[in-house]
A and B are shown apart, each in its own frame.
Chain A
Amino acid sequence: MHEADLIGYLLNLLDEEEKHRVASSLAQSEQLQARLQHWQTVVQPLGWDREHPSPPQDLLIATLLRVARYRVEQEQASSPAGTEGPAALPDRGPAPTFSLRAGLRRRIDLVIAVAIVLLVTLLIPPLVLEARQQYHELLCRNNLRQFHSALVQYESRYKERPGPEREGPLAWAGVYACQLREAGLLSADVTVVCPARPMPAPDIPSCKQLGTASADQLAKWRREAGGCYGYYLGYMENNELRRLSRRVLEKCCDSVNLGEIPVMADRPPRRSELPLGNGNSPNHNQRGQNVLFYGGHVRFVTSCRIGTDHIYLNRDGRCAAGLSPDDAVLAPSEMPPLP
């Protein structure tokens, strides 16, 4: 008998007929029993990691939202020009017993509605709100991932990430948007507006325009160009303001896990908003914020502290450049690195 049959018997991988055949052979042979025992011993440590890793809490709804978005896009692509909204769901089989036409004109509403139809067994009012919030979070995460691509391309071209200068017209957090735009890296897919906080897309000037702008115009751009996101202010080293750069950091900072440095996130609350909240971004109703890390992953975190690092304040408790590369400070558009 081949060893794989014994392994198959042990792990229940055989069909019924094979299982009976192996069982009767085992009953007649002590040698086979000893070999089975051997494989049991080999397999045993695997049991220490038997449990499946827990899925993210929003995986179920995020998956249905993705399917729903596809469904809506497909429906809109096949609709005659000028009509909005799917006429009937689903496309397989007969139409359901209700229509989505009434009042559901906006695409986001449609996507959410389709997702709920896919999961109607859990149709309770809080789910509608939750689905809407999770959809916004999802769009926001996708947006930050697009920013990551732009930031990586910028770094490969200029050998460092975009970021504010120490002083002058480029000394504010949101200048990253101007630098990316000037480098031709802000595509139509990327927006500085968080989908959860709809507002008109701001005007993003070039760095050259910033240099020649009037004081009023510059103040307006500083306030608006960085949009709804907070961006890495830089860090101080030998009294110099530094930007993130893989080349430099890998040489000098063995202890820093570069991939885990936060580089961008939903913007922090402004001073006028702070007393009312828990320190989380206002973009997602202060439930938390999406954070883009240097390594390219994006996580929704429910606290503005990640480990020991406060992502909106440096180790001195100030919204200013960090004291080391991993002392990330993600500041709203208008904030200078050295206030």
Chain B
Amino acid sequence: MFEEFKPLDRCQDEELIRLFREGVTEAFGVLVRRYHRELFGYLERYLGDRAAAEDVFQNTFLQVYQKLDQYQAERPFRPWLYTVATHQAIDAMRRAGRRPSVSLDVWREQGPNGQWVSLTSMVQSAAPDPSDSLDEAERRQWVRASVAALPEKLRMTLILAYYQGLRYQEIAEVLGIPVGTVKSRLHAALVRLQRMWSNRVGDMGGSR
């Protein structure tokens, strides 16, 4: 019997990998397209730099292409992809000789009077209740700056859990640490954010 025809767009990631290994070359393009928004978002949040995120994204898929032989077919593709991307991002930061939180002072925003202000000062000045004075874009920047101010390990765990939607077990695989450590890092990240945002966060009108 012939295998039932199924458009590539509807194939699971693991099926696409199998098809690519069997010579269906365009399956690779489908994977890149499927993940390009999600993974780019992860890298930009983590690196805090759009150009670096673009470069690391491309390197990630080049690595995926080069390392497909090492990929174990019975394991889910998504955590493996995040593992490759995370290693690439860490390497890129080491090469650039910086920690991502440094970029807080690099990202500059035009203040209300036209002056340039760093996001660090935004976090400091906006607390405790940004909902009083900030519009939607400013709130977004304020949250991004708060997350960027977290220590690297806590920040990465928070991004993978909250923004990327990976489960505890998957995050542990991506970061190569025990699940218990993932849990304690996420807890610590939220406690720190809570401190930054103060107890009045509960009064804010969220859009979620």
Chain A interface (Cβ < 8 Å from any Cβ of B): 2-5, 7-8, 11-15, 39, 41-50, 52-56, 59-60, 62-64, 66-67, 70-71, 89-90, 92-96, 117-122, 255, 257, 259, 297-299
Contact = CB atoms under 8 A, between A and B. Distances in A.
Contacts of B147: 46, 49
B168 interface: yes
A62 B58 contact: yes
Secondary structure of the A contact surface, majority rule: helix
Interface string B178-208: 0000011011001001100100011010111
7 contacts: A13-B166, A52-B42, A59-B36, A71-B65, A92-B21, A92-B23, A122-B29
A216 B26 CA distance: 55
Given A7-B187, A47-B207, A67-B65, A52 B25 contact: no
Contact of A66 (B62, B168, B169): B62
Contact of B45 (A53, A62, A70, A119): A53
Question: 7 closest pairs, A vs B, by CB?
Answer: A47-B208, A52-B41, A93-B23, A4-B183, A119-B29, A55-B40, A120-B26
Interface residues of B, number: 68
Given A92-B68, A121-B29, 15 more contacts: A4-B184, A4-B186, A44-B201, A46-B193, A52-B38, A52-B42, A55-B37, A56-B54, A60-B36, A63-B58, A67-B62, A92-B20, A93-B22, A93-B24, A120-B25
B20 to A, nearest CB: 7
A323 to B, nearest CB: 19
Contact of A42 (B29, B108, B143, B190): B190
Contact of B168 (A8, A117, A119, A122): A8
Contact of A90 (B25, B144, B204): B25
A55 B57 CA distance: 10
Given A52-B163, A117-B26, A44 B190 contact: no
A15 B37 contact: no
Contacts of B68: 92
B108 A70 contact: no
Given A39-B190, A43-B190, A117 B25 contact: yes
Interface string B128-148: 000000001001101110110
A42 B20 CA distance: 43
A59 B163 contact: no
Contacts of B139: 45, 48-49
